[in-house]
Amino acid sequence: MFELPEYTLEPIMWWLDTISGMWKEHAMVSSAMERLSQSVPELADNDDKRFQFMACLMSMDRDFYFLYVRNQDTNEELVKRFVARQWLGLFKL
């Protein structure tokens, strides 16, 4: 996420496609999210960004659960588009 060439909708949509595949295989848990947020210097040094990051991860986790576990993926692209907009907010703090 922090190594994308630019922070616009298209790269974040690409990242969401990648991370959704990882989620399907490994379903992340909250403690892993906290460790991840502490491992990124941009987040560890900025509480607002860190908590925004955590909120985005938790939201994404629930969205992916709804899409892939409950098989409600009819509007998958639309859901990912709204999730991407949430992630864009992280880079505006």
Q: What is the pLDDT of residue 19?
A: 82
pLDDT at 82: 92
Question: Would you say 73 and 67 are in contact if contact means Cβ atoms under 8 Å apart?
Answer: yes
3-state secondary structure of 91: coil
CB 60 within 8 A of CB 17: no
Rounded mean pLDDT, 6-15: 88
pLDDT at position 79 is 92
Identify which has the larger pLDDT, 26 or 92: 92
58 within 8 A of 30, measured Cβ to Cβ = yes
User: What is the model's pLDDT at position 77?
Assistant: 92
pLDDT of residue 36: 77
**pLDDT (0 to 100) of residue 12:** 87
**Cβ proximity of 46 and 30 under 8 Å:** no
Express each pLDDT in 29-79 by its tens digit.
556 777 777 888 888 889 899 889 888 988 888 898 999 989 888 999 999
